[in-house]
Amino acid sequence: MERISVFSGIGAPLRRSNVDTDQIIPAVYLKRITKTGFEDGLFAHWRNDPEFVLNQPAYKNAQVLIAGSDFGTGSSREHAVWALRDFGFKAVFSSKFADIFRGNAGKQGLVTGVISDSDTQLLWEAMEANPGLELQVDLPAQQVRFSDTVVSFEIDEYTKWRLMEGLDDIGITLQNEPAIAAFEARRQAWRPTTLPAKGV
């Protein structure tokens, strides 16, 4: 997982609230056994509509999604985060997220910042007035910026730290690799062991 600090990307206004994970990626796309390649399933039903925001040329390379309240509700599928990430999104901002979705996002390198409803409206109007507007996301300062406008967002400190350090669950575990190796070195020979992965 790459470290995240400050980045800029085209913003996309998703003027929809109560977006659940089945709307983010329908269940039919969950049959794959890989962790990548889910961009074609992102908002699949909505993308059948030529007028849908992500079908507009100005937003086809968007990296920052500004969504309505209650984003990521429904089932706990990690595929929702993978689909957003695979499409190219690095951050999603909303006035409220489902807890499980927000937790999954932090573990997969996707920033989820909480902003006020009024700031959501402000960003929507700015992007619609200037399609293709580039937004700067400053994770250390917890701000979204464009022109002279600054919007503050909330994110819990632990998730912020993980994102800035580029640490997923495996990365956090590997920080203790010397202690794990020392423990294994003094492990009694009669105890059960696991076989190394094939090809390793």
**194 within a domain of the structure (yes/no):** no
**187 within a domain of the structure (yes/no):** no
Give the residue numbers spanning the domain of 50.
Answer: 6-167
Give long-range contacts, CB 8 A cutoff, 24+ apart: 56-61.
56/131, 58/10, 58/131, 58/132, 59/10, 59/12, 59/131, 59/132, 61/10, 61/88
Which two three-digit tokens encode residue 161? Answer: 């730290």
pLDDT tens by residue, 108-163: 999 999 999 999 999 999 999 999 999 999 999 999 999 999 999 999 999 999 99
**196 within a domain of the structure (yes/no):** no
**180 within a domain of the structure (yes/no):** no
Which two three-digit tokens encode residue 85? Answer: 């990430």
Which pTM does this prediction carry?
0.89
**121 within a domain of the structure (yes/no):** yes
CATH code for position 155: 3.20.19.10
Strand, helix or coil at 82?
helix
State how many domains the chain has. Answer: 1
Helix (H) or strand (E) holding 160: helix 157-165
